[in-house]
Amino acid sequence: MTVLAVILVYPLAYSLGLSFYNYYLPVPRTTFVGLDNFRFILADDAFWEALGVTARFTGAAVAIEVVLGIAIALLLDARIPCRRFVNTVVLLPMAITPAVAGLLMRWMFESNWGLVNYFLGLVGVVGPGWTGDPAWALWSIIFADVWQNTPFVILVVYAGLQSVPVEPLEAAMVDGASRAQTLAHVVFPFLRPLVLFVLIIRSMDAFRIFDQVFVMTGGGPGTTTQTITFYNYVMAFRQLRMGRASALGVITLLILSLVIGAWIYLLYRREKGEW
Amino acid sequence: MVNRNVGAGAARVVLVRAFVYLALLAVVAVSLFPIYFALTTSLKQTRDAFTTPPTWIFTPTLEHHRFIWLETPFPRYLFNTLVITLGTVLLSIPLGCMAAYYLARYRSRPIQVLLFSLLAVRAFPRILLLVPFFLVARAAQLYDTHILIILIIVAFNQPFAIWLMRGFFLDVPRELPEAAMIDGCSSFQAFLRVVLPVVRPGVFTAALFTFLFAYNEFLYCLILTGSHAKPLSVAIAQYGAEKIEYWSWSAAGAVGILAPIVLFIAVMQRHLVKGLTFGTLKG
């Protein structure tokens, strides 16, 4: 445990320290520059753009995943044939290597021979250039993420549905509640903590998306799909600005803790108030 | 009147049923299609692969699979992936087991806080640690070694593994190890011989997730490995070739990486679901 803590905490401290230095990798000398790195990033348009891209990505992807996930979990909960097979297939994308999933999705969204545009063509829609089109590139990645991560939502919600206590369901039936009413008043309140859990986990994961961006668009076209993590990667390992990249990392950490903290606080507070 | 009502009701039930099946069919199709597409692309002659409309019927060829696994460095990357995944599981699970046991037996306030901070690791922007990892690894001459990657993945995996196994350990009655200790076992023996067999499913599930996590790791491997320790996930992402067959080869590589996961999930589906739901509901 201690060793593990060291593996995580020491680099964190190191990184924090580094963020106050000017460290350009090819030049072995580092100079203390105080808050210059932070000042640079806060004045950097690319940073704000990356933040916006990340926020749009996280918001859209997580919203679609949660809604779809709950819907599909409800479907799976109905009595269906070959349940085992269906469950396996539906959960499969979750386990696939994200880099490979990104590759698969890049092929699906390929504008000339990709299957997405082929199927769109069948129903008479001329598909956009997807990953090559500034307006649609981010959506390609959002769809890729939805494909890969909706199963996680399904899994947790489905598990929740399986363990809804029987008594209130029976009571609702005795009282003559319709299926919709039962869902709204018995099942959903029970699911709520799970949905919150999923929402938080998925947001945290989506916020640091990298693999699919790297494989599908490389941040492009231009910088239209450059997320915070990707921008940080570019800064550190293409521009070799180690100090500045550390500062960006620290800023990201602060933003993330603030957002997640505020969110958990608000959600759980409301939760307590209602109970 | 009554009859008609029943008839209408039955019709509605059939309609709802049909809707549910259709919707599920669509979900299954969407889940499978990208995988199916990669598989067929890897089996098609290159000239059939990129036609519009797609060629649905074709003479399969294993040529691309043969090429990628025999005439490129992919076997080397496979070996690296195996070393990294096995190393991670073998290090992560025994350590995590003991930590989980400890955390489950002694429930105090600081330990609850510790548990929560463990989970917080999940939220962590991993890129922040990448720069220090990279610089330290270079200084310590660990760059591009398996052990470096294993240690890092273990550190990130541990919170989840511990948290998952703790749920299973919580269900073991306290009396069990105590009885064994009265019978003359040391506390470690009691853990090993009495408690561990009971929680085997939990340990198994944690091992499965750890395996997947290590197998799928990308960002750290991308930066911290080079020609020596590079795993499959990075290799396939960086794979490029000038020739037109590139797509076919790439698809063959992707299918090779997918195949173990698909088999794995098909066989282990129940364990994965049970393990995750168990941990989640306990959390």
Rounded mean pLDDT, B170-198: 82
Q: Are residues B274 and B138 in the same domain?
A: yes
Q: Cα dist. B207→A87, A135, A239, B266, B274 in Å?
A: 21, 42, 38, 16, 13
Phi, psi dihedrals of residue A33, rounded to the nearest 5° = -125, 10
Q: Are residues B44 and B79 in the same domain?
A: no
- B229-259 burial, b for 16+ CB within 10 Å, e for fewer? bbbbbbbbbebeeeeebebbbbbbbbbbbbe
- Summarised one tens digit per residue, pLDDT across range B31-82 is 888 998 888 888 888 777 777 677 777 778 888 888 888 888 888 999 999 9
Spell out which residues of chain B touch residue A113, defining contact as CB-CB under 8 Å: 50-52, 54
Residues 6+ apart with CB under 8 A from A41: A47, A244, A247, A248, A251
Question: Is there a contact between B265 and A92 if contact means CB atoms under 8 Å apart?
Answer: yes
Task: Compute the mean pLDDT over every residue in chain A, rounded to the nearest whole number.
Answer: 83
How many residues are there in chain B? 283
Banded pLDDT at B165 (limits 50, 70, 90): confident
Q: Are residues B32 and B135 in the same domain?
A: no
**Burial category of A71 from C-beta neighbours within 10 Å (exposed 0-12, middle 13-18, buried 19 and up):** middle
- Summarised one tens digit per residue, pLDDT across range A34-63 is 788 888 888 888 899 999 999 999 999 999
Sign of the Cα torsion B275, A99, B131, A52 reads negative
Question: Is there a contact between A253 and B125 if contact means CB atoms under 8 Å apart?
Answer: yes
Q: Which of B33, B124, B131 faces A18 most closely, judged by CB atoms? A: B131
Residue window 73-102, chain A: list those with CB within 8 Å of chain B.
75-76, 78, 80, 84, 86-93, 95-102
Spell out which residues of chain A touch residue B269, defining contact as CB-CB under 8 Å: 84, 87-88, 91
Residues 6+ apart with CB under 8 A from B160: B122, B209, B213
A15 in Cβ contact with B132 (< 8 Å): yes
Q: Are residues B165 and B244 in the same domain?
A: yes
A21-22 and A31-32 strand pairing = antiparallel
Spell out which residues of chain B touch residue A211, defining contact as CB-CB under 8 Å: 218-219, 237
Does the pLDDT of residue B160 top 70, yes or no? yes
Give the pLDDT score at A61.
95
Spell out which residues of chain A touch residue B244, defining contact as CB-CB under 8 Å: none
Q: How many angstroms separate the first and last alpha carbons of chain B?
A: 53
Does the pLDDT of residue B1 top 50, yes or no? no
How close does chain A come to B180, measured CA to CA in Å?
27
Q: Are residues B144 and B222 in the same domain?
A: yes
CB of B233 less than 8 A from some CB of A:
yes
Amino acid at A26: P
Does the pLDDT of residue B201 top 60, yes or no? yes
Q: Are residues B205 and B163 in the same domain?
A: yes
The rounded distance, in Å, linking the Cα atoms of B152 and A219 is 26
Banded pLDDT at B5 (limits 50, 70, 90): low
Spell out which residues of chain A touch residue B51, defining contact as CB-CB under 8 Å: 113
Residues 6+ apart with CB under 8 A from B220: B126, B130, B133, B149, B152, B153
Residues 6+ apart with CB under 8 A from A54: A207, A209, A227, A228, A229
Spell out which residues of chain A touch residue B152, defining contact as CB-CB under 8 Å: 7
* Helix-, strand-, coil-residue percentages of chain B, each rounded to 5: 80, 0, 20
B57 within domain boundaries: no
Question: Is there a contact between B233 and A100 if contact means CB atoms under 8 Å apart?
Answer: yes
Superfamily classification of domain A51-209: MetI-like (1.10.3720.10)
- Highest average pLDDT, of A62-66, A253-257, B107-111, comes from A62-66
Q: Are residues B30 and B145 in the same domain?
A: no
Q: Which of A47, A65, A67, A96 would you mutate first to test chain B, the one with the most B CBs within 10 A?
A: A96
Give the pLDDT score at B13.
79
Question: Is there a contact between B280 and A113 if contact means CB atoms under 8 Å apart?
Answer: no
Question: So what's the ipTM on this one?
Answer: 0.82
Q: Which of A107, A163, A230 would you mutate first to test chain B, the one with the most B CBs within 10 A?
A: A107
The rounded distance, in Å, linking the Cα atoms of A98 and A106 is 12
Amino acid at A130: W
Longest dimension (CA), chain A: 77
Q: Are residues B88 and B21 in the same domain?
A: no
Residue A155 three-state SS? helix
Q: Are residues B105 and B17 in the same domain?
A: no
Q: Are residues B15 and B132 in the same domain?
A: no
Q: Are residues B155 and B229 in the same domain?
A: yes
Q: Are residues B134 and B236 in the same domain?
A: yes
Token pair 């029987």: residue: A166
Indicate which CATH number applies to the domain containing B152.
1.10.3720.10
Residue B106 three-state SS? coil
- The ranges assigned to domains in chain A are 51-209
Amino acid at B282: K
B64 within domain boundaries: no
B274 within domain boundaries: yes
Banded pLDDT at B2 (limits 50, 70, 90): very low
Q: Which of A11, A108, A204 faces B132 most closely, judged by CB atoms? A: A11
B60 within domain boundaries: no
The single-letter DSSP state of residue B229 is T
Give the pLDDT score at B111.
60
Percent of chain A with pLDDT over 90: 18
Give the pLDDT score at A275.
33
Provide the number of structural domains found in chain B.
2
Put residue A209 in one of left, alpha, beta given phi > 0 → left and psi -120 to 50 → alpha.
Answer: beta
Amino acid at A275: W
Residue A31 three-state SS? strand
Which range among A168-172, A184-188, A191-195, A266-270 shows the weakest confidence by mean pLDDT?
A266-270
Question: Is there a contact between A107 and B251 if contact means CB atoms under 8 Å apart?
Answer: yes
B253 within domain boundaries: yes
Q: Which residues pair with A32 in a beta bridge?
A: A21
Q: How many angstroms separate the first and last alpha carbons of chain A?
A: 38
Tell me the CB-side half-sphere exposure of residue A18, using CA atoms within 13 A.
Answer: 30
- Domain of residue B217: give its range: 73-282
- Summarised one tens digit per residue, pLDDT across range B241-272 is 666 677 888 888 888 898 888 888 888 777 77
Query: Residue B177 corresponds to which tokens in the numbers above?
Result: 């190890």
Does the pLDDT of residue A83 top 50, yes or no? yes
Chain B residue nearest residue A164, CA to CA: B281
- Summarised one tens digit per residue, pLDDT across range A222-247 is 888 899 899 999 988 888 888 888 88
How close does chain A come to B148, measured CA to CA in Å?
10
Rounded mean pLDDT, B228-234: 88
Give the pLDDT score at B125.
76
B85 in Cβ contact with B233 (< 8 Å): no
Spell out which residues of chain B touch residue A215, defining contact as CB-CB under 8 Å: 237
